[in-house]
Structure 1
Amino acid sequence: MFVIFLRFSSNKAAAQDYMAAHNAWIAQGFADGVFLCAGSLGPAAGGAVLAQGEARTALESRVEADPFVAQGVVAAEIHEIDPKRTIPSLDFLKGTDLPAS
């Protein structure tokens, strides 16, 4: 499982120019079954996405395709999490190790 932090850069003012394309990128991540949750970082710091089911290299390519990332609106950080304990409804997240490529 991965947490992707999308922190606004000095080009934050351009966000409105790419918002529709960024929202389409998020929708595609959900449609592909890779994104589990997406939301804002407060206060007005950017966003975060929980993702699973995709190898890191594929996820890195997906993140690079985000119009906000491609246009320098945000800087992306990808952090991998190996869930060991969850509530029962999130047990599907445990043991989801994927190959490095």
Structure 2
Amino acid sequence: MFILELSYTAPLDAVDAVLPDHVVWLDDLYAQGVFLASGRKEPRDGGVIVAVAEDRARIEEITAGDPFVKAGVCAYRVTEFIATKTAPTLEPYRETLP
């Protein structure tokens, strides 16, 4: 499982100009089952996405395709973790330590 932390690197008006394309990108990845939750940070200086993928390389490929990244208005920090305990609804994503 991955936590994707977005930090805006441009003023909010530049971010908002790309927001509709970013939302379409989010919707597609939700439909693929990659994204589990997302939202903006408070204060509004970026966002957070909870994601699942086969490996970090796939996540790096996904984040590179974000319209925010392509427009140069955000940077990502990717944290991989092993979800050994979850809420019942996230049980399919629960992992065991090696």
Please indicate, yes or no, whether the TM-score normalized by the shorter chain is above 0.5: yes
1:96–1:77 distance in 2 versus 1, CA, 3 Å? farther
Give TM-score, length-normalised by structure 1: 0.85
Question: 1:26-65 alignment to 2 at 5 Å?
Answer: 26-65=26-65
Q: Matched residues in 1 for 2:58 and 2:87: separation? A: 28
Code of the residue aligned with 1:46 in structure 2: it is G
CA distance in 2, matches of 1:16, 1:90: 31
Other-structure match for 2:22: 22
String of CA shifts for 1:7-63, please: whole Å, max 9, x gaps.
111344311221111111101110111000011111111111000133211111110
Paired residue type of 1:59: I
Could you tell me whether the CA contact under 8 Å between 1:11 and 1:72 is conserved in 2?
no
Partner secondary structure for residue 42 of structure 1: coil
Contact kept, 8 Å, 1:34 with 1:54, in 2: the verdict is no
Tell me, in whole angstroms, the C-alpha distance in 1 between the residues paired with 2:14 and 2:46.
Answer: 13
1:91, distance to aligned residue in structure 2 (A): 2.0
% identity of equivalent residues: 32
The answer (yes or no) to whether the contact 1:11–1:74 under 8 Å persists in 2 is: no
Q: TM-score, normalised by structure 2?
A: 0.87
Q: Distance in 2 between matches of 1:67 and 1:96?
A: 34
CA distance in 2 between counterparts of 1:32 and 1:85 reads: 23
The 2-side partners of 1:30 and 1:88 are apart by 19
Are 1:73 and 2:73 an aligned pair? Answer: yes
Aligned residue pairs: how many?
97
- Structure 1 residue runs of 4 or more that deviate by more than 4 Å after TM superposition: none
User: C-alpha distance in 2, partners of 1:61/1:33?
Assistant: 16
Q: Given the superposition, is the C-alpha separation of residues 67 and 15 from structure 1 closer, same or farther in structure 2, using an over 3 Å criterion?
A: same
